[in-house]
Amino acid sequence: MVGVNPRDRVAATLEGLDRLNLQVIVLAQPDATRQVARERARAAAKRAGRSELFVEAVTAARETAMRAFSRGGFSGTWAATDWSISVANAGDRVAAAAAFEEAAVAAVVEDLVDDETLEILRSGVGELERSSSVPSPGSLSALADPGRLANWGSWSVGIAAVLIVLAVALWVSFGAGFGLLVLVVVALGLARRRSGPRS
């Protein structure tokens, strides 16, 4: 987007970041290479009189990351609930926020730095985009994954389906304790079956 107003580039970048799914994060903290690229971008922005935009972009990117985590905090799980869950720890959140900030910084200095610096600044978000398609552990989409079901075998899938329906019925009729107990037994049984010796 060279030739586009830097502020418009930042806005477009933030809009794209706002659509990312941050429930599952596979991303390392910024390493020395990423930190050097960020400092190079900061210096370029300062020389071009864009220091204020640089700070605004970083702040807005951090807020965008926090909003994304807030949206991803609720998920339907195999227990058929809407519990507040997150598989991202504090380190994951810091790494994701840093990646968002670097992408916004890249938008600020896109026409001021070399392609290698831009590639480094955008690499974190690239990793997040690749991991955004991974379903959260325990989510309904993960449970119904065809590859996972194929590994269980048809009998396991049938038994699991019947027991889950029974657990939900017990949950509704007699309370959470009964339903949760049956679901835990199902999960442990399937885990033991999958990890057991194969002939």
d(CA 41, CA 49): 12
Q: What angle do CA 96, 97, 102 make, to 5 degrees?
A: 95
The answer to whether the beta carbons of residues 80 and 168 sit under 8 Å apart is yes
**Over its length of 199 residues, how does the chain's per-residue pLDDT go in tens digits?**
556 799 999 999 999 988 887 766 667 889 999 999 999 999 999 999 999 999 999 999 999 988 887 775 544 444 444 444 445 567 778 888 999 999 999 999 999 999 999 999 999 998 888 876 555 544 444 444 555 545 555 556 666 677 677 666 666 666 666 556 666 666 666 666 555 554 4
Q: Report d(CA 159, CA 152) in Å as an integer.
A: 11
Name the one residue in this structure whose structure tokens are 């071009």: 48
pTM, two decimal places = 0.61
Residue 77 is predicted with a pLDDT of 45
CA distance 20 to 55: 22
- Report the pLDDT value the prediction gives residue 91, as an integer from 0 to 100: 79
Which pLDDT does position 73 carry in this prediction? Answer: 52
